[in-house]
């Protein structure tokens, strides 16, 4: 999610540097085979049961998290642990309120939206790998509500590995695009 519509760099590599402003860079980030990577990750497969302390299985955790104030400035653009919640009309940015009025769109405050915010999370359900990441990034675990244990496996792994290898050895652009499309289509179907 990008919060700003326009960003300008300011650094010594530019012709028109503003020496008063802080030096800044713009860095575009891209990942090859992002959908293929996402699909190859293990997913809950069978044997869901209450938590027993062994790590041969995956875990989904219901918990409460706190976002320390010391992280607010750093994480303001991209807060961790997005939360699905209703958003009142008053909570919308002025620009969105203006669009609603200008385009005469009725806003339903009951619809839940996936919201990045810096407030506390209550009854947040997350994968154990996400929790490990959040804790490394210094979010604070305040309470465990529940733990669900499950056996996990990556069902499309062989298919995706084959399509990825075919994409890597493809000689022409059509073949490269075809194998990329097949992986992306698989990802799209998994989201339905």
Q: What is the DSSP letter of 24?
A: B
For residue range 88-133, list pLDDT tens digits in order: 999 898 999 999 999 999 999 998 999 999 999 999 999 988 999 9
164 vs 32, residue with greater confidence: 164
Please check whether residue 115 is in contact with residue 87, taking contact to mean a CB–CB distance below 8 angstroms. yes
For the chain, where are the alpha helices, taking DSSP H only? 34-40, 72-75, 94-102, 128-136, 157-169, 173-190
Please check whether residue 81 is in contact with residue 144, taking contact to mean a CB–CB distance below 8 angstroms. no
- pLDDT of 4: 63
Residue 107 burial (CB count, 10 A):
13
Q: What's the Rg (C-alpha) of the chain?
A: 22
Could you tell me the pLDDT band of residue 190, with boundaries at 50, 70 and 90?
Answer: confident
Residue 102 located in a structural domain: no
Residue 65 located in a structural domain: yes
Tokens found for residue 94: 């002025």
- pLDDT of 3: 61
Give the range of the structural domain holding residue 148, as residue numbers without chain letter. Answer: 34-79+118-190
- pLDDT of 25: 87
- pLDDT of 1: 46
Please report the sign of the dihedral spanned by the C-alpha atoms of residue 127, residue 78, residue 137, residue 121. negative
Closest CA to 163 of 177, 146, 147, 145: 177
- pLDDT of 189: 87
The 10 Å CB-count burial string (b at 16+, else e) for 177-188 is eebbebbeebbe
For residue range 30-84, list pLDDT tens digits in order: 778 888 888 888 888 888 776 554 467 888 999 999 999 999 999 998 999 999 9
Total domain count, the chain: 1
187 vs 7, residue with greater confidence: 187
Averaged pLDDT for residues 6-31: 85
- pLDDT of 70: 95
Residue 86 located in a structural domain: no
Residue 173 located in a structural domain: yes
Residue 9 located in a structural domain: no
Output helix, strand, coil percentages for the chain, rounded to the nearest 5.
Answer: 35, 25, 40
DSSP-derived 3-state class of residue 46: strand
Could you tell me the pLDDT band of residue 179, with boundaries at 50, 70 and 90?
Answer: very high
Residue 149 located in a structural domain: yes
């Amino acid at each position: 999610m990008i919060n700003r519509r326009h960003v300008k760099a300011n650094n010594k590599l530019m012709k028109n540097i503003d020496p008063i402003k802080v030096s800044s860079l713009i860095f575009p980030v891209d990942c090859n085979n992002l959908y293929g990577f996402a699909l190859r990750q293990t997913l809950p497969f069978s044997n869901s049961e209450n938590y027993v302390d062994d790590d041969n299985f995956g875990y989904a955790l219901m918990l409460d998290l706190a976002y320390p104030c010391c992280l607010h400035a750093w994480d303001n653009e991209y807060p961790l642990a997005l939360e699905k919640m209703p958003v009142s009309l008053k909570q919308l940015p002025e620009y969105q309120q203006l669009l609603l009025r200008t385009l005469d769109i009725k806003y339903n405050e009951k619809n839940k939206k996936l919201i990045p915010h810096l407030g506390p999370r209550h009854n947040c359900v997350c994968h154990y790998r996400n929790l490990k990441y959040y804790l490394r990034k210094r979010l604070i675990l305040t309470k465990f509500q529940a733990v669900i244990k499950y056996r996990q496996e990556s069902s499309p792994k062989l298919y995706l590995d084959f399509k990825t290898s075919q994409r890597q050895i493809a000689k022409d652009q059509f073949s490269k695009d075809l194998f990329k499309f097949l992986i992306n289509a698989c990802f799209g179907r998994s989201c339905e």
